[in-house]
């Protein structure tokens, strides 16, 4: 590690102004919780170290959790423990709580932020799949104001995002139409705690029903067959970035909610990813995990849907 300049931003606008001022002539990095960046700096060669670090940890405008006209807004500086403790998130999306609970140790969850986890861009990240399965939107702040992109398009590859040098991730928005959508998250690692995912999966869908005359609508006691409505499946650690299992989603749409269809969707999801073999697991083992965890995630989402019914 070599010496660098350190500046604290007062809020997101100040942070963007600092990035715009310095990013053209210097290597600039943003720090919030620092759980990823400090490890990077400790082991990075001097040529990879920044000239300037902009601390955004005091930007209060990036720390909100609230329902807005767009949906559920989660500021980029919300920590994993704040997600776990939020009554709003616990009620609407227990899967986000489950995902946050699998991230690192207690100390990491106290300091680490949602935005930092997403911006790091590691394919095995635990916060990404649930948000992608809920079709979350990334709100990006830059000199020209805010722009919004689907979170699934935020990553370009391992540790690469669409952020420009003078931009920062400001908030994540779960669209209003997906509020309270039944969602389930599962992670499989080599141990129960503080482990990178070999595979992680999130699944969400609403339950529709078909009456005797073929009418589709919300579930009530008079309808006798549950069907998949707007199924979304996201896979982590099995591609260069978190990916949607589009073929599995298309297979499920409008079909009956049955164990057989869930199991078949798991098999189809295997064709939606390209896992690699490494020292943690082989590609074939990861494919088996995708099939199993996809089925179980769908089962978990259905149990939640029935509980909310």
Q: What does pLDDT average to over the chain?
A: 92
Percent of the chain exceeding pLDDT 90 equals 79
Phi–psi pair at 52, nearest 5 degrees: -140, 135
pTM: 0.92
Tell me the mean pLDDT in the region 188-213. Answer: 85
What pLDDT is stored for residue 50 in this prediction? 87
Residues 6+ apart with CB under 8 A from 6: 52, 53, 55
Interval 150-191: pLDDT, tens: 999 999 999 999 999 999 999 999 999 999 999 999 999 988
Query: For the chain, what is the HEC assignment?
Result: CCCCEEEECCCHHHHHHHHHHHCCCCCEEEECCCCCHHHHHHHCCHHHCCCEEEECCCCHHHCCEEECCCEEEEECCCEHHHHHHCHHHHHHCHHHHHHHHCCCCHHHHHHCEHHHHHHHCCCCCCCHHHHHHCCCEEEEEECCEEEEEEHHHCEEECCEECCCCCCEEEEEEEEHHHCCCCEEEEEEECCCCCCCEEEEEEEEEEEEEECCCCCEEECCCCCCCEEEEEEEEEEECCCCCCEECHHHHHHHCCCECCHHHHHHHHHHHHCCCCCCCCCCCCHHHHHHHHHHHHHHHHHHHHHHHHHHC
Q: Alpha-carbon distance 128 to 106, whole Å?
A: 19
Interval 45-84: pLDDT, tens: 766 788 899 999 999 999 999 999 999 999 999 999 999 9
Residues 6+ apart with CB under 8 A from 46: 1, 2
Structure tokens at 305: 């849907």
What pLDDT is stored for residue 45 in this prediction? 72
Residue 221: band (very low, low, confident or very high) from pLDDT cuts 50, 70, 90: very low
Interval 92-146: pLDDT, tens: 999 999 999 999 888 889 999 999 999 999 999 999 999 999 999 999 999 999 9
113 vs 221 pLDDT, higher one: 113
Burial 288-309 (b: 16+ CB within 10 A, else e): ebbbbbbbbbbbbbbebbeeee
From the CB of residue 6, how many other CB atoms can be counted at a distance below 10 Å?
Answer: 11
What pLDDT is stored for residue 217 in this prediction? 52
Percent of the chain exceeding pLDDT 70 equals 94
């Amino acid at each position: 590690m070599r010496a660098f300049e350190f500046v604290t931003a007062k809020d997101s606008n100040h942070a963007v102004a600092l990035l715009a001022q310095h990013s053209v002539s210097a290597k600039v990095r943003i720090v919030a919780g620092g759980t990823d960046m400090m490890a990077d700096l400790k082991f990075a060669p001097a040529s990879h170290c920044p000239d300037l670090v902009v601390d955004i940890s005091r930007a209060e405008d990036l720390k909100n959790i609230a329902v807005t006209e767009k949906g559920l807004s989660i500021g980029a500086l919300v920590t994993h423990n704040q997600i776990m403790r939020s009554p709003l998130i616990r009620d609407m999306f227990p899967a986000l709580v489950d995902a946050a609970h699998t991230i690192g140790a207690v100390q990491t969850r106290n300091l680490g932020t949602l935005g930092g986890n997403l911006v790091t861009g590691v394919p095995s990240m635990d916060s990404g799949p649930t948000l992608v399965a809920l079709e979350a939107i990334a709100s990006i702040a830059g000199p020209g104001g805010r722009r919004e992109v689907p979170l699934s398009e935020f990553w370009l590859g391992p540790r690469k995002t669409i952020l420009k040098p003078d931009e920062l991730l400001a908030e994540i928005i779960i669209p209003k139409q997906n509020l309270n959508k039944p969602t389930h998250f599962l992670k499989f690692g080599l141990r129960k705690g503080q482990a990178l995912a070999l595979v992680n999966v999130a699944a969400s869908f609403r339950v529709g029903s078909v009456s005797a005359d073929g009418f589709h609508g919300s579930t009530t006691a008079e309808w006798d067959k549950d069907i998949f409505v707007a199924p979304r499946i996201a896979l982590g650690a099995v591609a260069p970035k978190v990916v949607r299992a589009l073929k599995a989603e298309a297979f499920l749409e409008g079909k009956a909610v049955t164990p057989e269809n869930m199991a078949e969707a798991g098999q189809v999801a295997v064709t939606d990813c390209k896992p690699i073999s490494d020292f943690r697991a082989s590609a074939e083992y990861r494919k088996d995990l995708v099939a199993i965890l996809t089925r179980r995630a769908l089962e978990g989402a259905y149990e939640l849907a029935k509980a909310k019914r």
